């Protein structure tokens, strides 16, 4: 097991897995159950699963599918998408999923996080921070799969999530997501150095260098990967994979 976490982040849509670019144009990449079986075989330490259409379509989580996924998944699993009430989160935990990722609902009801944390503890809640540049090139916070803008800066929203009690945050750069163009290490570092909780950086990773530098330069505690774990390489076909752990460990020590 790597001390630094490198986490596959899978996107769910219509009971299938998809990959987006800048949160748009989802392309089918496979069946969630089969994909998770491959990650089980590769002994991946942790997994994030996000339903990208639940919140925009005002849908509840797909509990039936999530039950099947939880029964198949041998690693800790975080799920996000469509969780708007404590009761929905409670049902997710009862299925056997260890963490819930809260994004859109927190913008409407920040107390939801506090409710969940009070019962299940801070380690059970991931606060999702999606950021996107505005017309002036400044990063702002978005929600609802990137369709709604917040008045808060990323650091302001981080502090609100911390005050609510989240155990960690998932920082996703919408401008880089799915592009293979590299990660914004300055943004990652700004959030990491402002944060009292672990930061998972996501968006733009296309190489081992990106993963390692998100930790070394960006000071993130973990990195989430999308395209890198579902495609052979940029412009090539689907191939579920995971970076070589020995190589990652070696590069982190350099």
List, by residue number, the catalytic residues.
130
Distance, in Å, from the CA atom of 148 to the CA atom of 170, rounded to the nearest integer, reads 18
Taking alpha carbons only, the member of 124, 44, 137 closest to residue 92 is 124
Q: Round to whole Å and give the CA distance between 200 and 129.
A: 10
**Distance, C-alpha 231 to centroid of its chain:** 18
The CA distance from 4 to 46, in Å, is: 11
């Amino acid at each position: 097991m790597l001390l630094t976490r490198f986490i596959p982040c899978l996107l769910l849509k219509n009971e299938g897995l998809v990959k987006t670019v800048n949160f748009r144009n989802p392309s089918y990449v496979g069946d969630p159950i089969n994909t998770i079986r491959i990650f089980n075989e590769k002994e991946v330490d942790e997994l994030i699963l996000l339903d990208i259409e639940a919140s925009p379509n005002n849908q509840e989580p797909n509990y039936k599918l999530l039950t099947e996924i939880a029964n198949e998944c041998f690693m800790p699993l975080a799920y996000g998408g469509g969780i708007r009430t404590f009761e929905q989160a409670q049902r997710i935990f009862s299925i056997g999923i260890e963490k819930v990722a809260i994004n859109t609902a927190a913008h409407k009801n920040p107390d939801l996080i506090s409710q969940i944390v009070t019962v299940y503890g801070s380690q059970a809640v991931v606060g999702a921070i999606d950021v996107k540049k505005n017309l002036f090139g400044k990063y702002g916070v978005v929600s609802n799969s990137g369709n709604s803008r917040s008045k808060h800066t990323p650091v302001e929203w981080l502090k609100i999530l911390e005050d609510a009690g989240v155990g960690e945050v998932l920082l996703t750069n919408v401008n880089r997501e799915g592009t293979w163009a590299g990660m914004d290490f300055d943004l990652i570092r700004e959030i990491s150095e402002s944060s009292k909780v672990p930061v998972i950086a996501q968006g733009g990773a296309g190489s081992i260098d990106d993963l390692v530098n998100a930790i070394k330069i960006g000071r993130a505690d973990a990195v989430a990967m999308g395209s890198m774990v579902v495609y052979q390489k940029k412009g090539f076909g689907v191939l579920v994979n995971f970076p070589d752990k020995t190589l990652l460990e070696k590069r982190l020590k350099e």
